[in-house]
Amino acid sequence: MIRLSANLGFLWADRPLPDAVHAAKAAGFDAVECHWPYDQDAGAMRRALDETGLPMLGLNTAKGRPGEFGLSALPGREEEARAAIDQAFAYGIAIGARAVHVMAGASRSVTGAAETFDRNLHHACDLASAHDMTVLIEPLNARDAPNYFHATVEEAAAVVERAGRPELKIMFDCYHQQIMGGDLTRRFQRFHSLVGHVQFAAVPSRAEPDEGELAYERLLPALVEAGWAGFFGAEYKPRAGTDEGLGWVAGIAS
- Give the CA distances from residue 171 to residues 77, 88, 93, 196, 240, in Å, rounded to whole numbers and listed in that order: 24, 17, 20, 6, 27
> Domain of 166: which CATH number?
3.20.20.150
Tell me, yes or no, if 138 is annotated catalytic: yes
3-state secondary structure of 32: strand
Choose the catalytic residue: 33, 68, 208, 235: 235
- Quote the CA–CA distance of 29 and 8 in Å, as a whole number: 11
* Parent domain of 234: 4-253
Q: State the burial class of residue 247 (Cβ atoms within 10 Å of its Cβ: 0-12, 13-18, 19+).
A: exposed
Q: Is the pTM of this model over 0.85?
A: yes
pLDDT at 188: 97
How many domains does one find in the chain?
Answer: 1
Tell me, yes or no, if 115 is annotated catalytic: no
pLDDT at 252: 84
Choose the catalytic residue: 33, 68, 138, 167: 138
pLDDT in tens, the chain (254 residues): 899 999 999 999 999 999 999 999 999 999 999 999 999 999 999 999 999 999 999 999 999 998 899 999 999 999 999 999 999 999 999 999 999 999 999 999 899 999 999 999 999 999 999 999 999 999 999 999 999 999 999 999 999 999 999 999 999 999 999 999 999 999 999 999 999 999 999 999 999 999 999 999 999 999 999 999 999 999 999 999 999 999 999 988 76
By C-alpha distance, which of 238, 198, 237 is closest to 220?
A: 198
Identity of the residue numbered 72: S
pLDDT at 133: 98
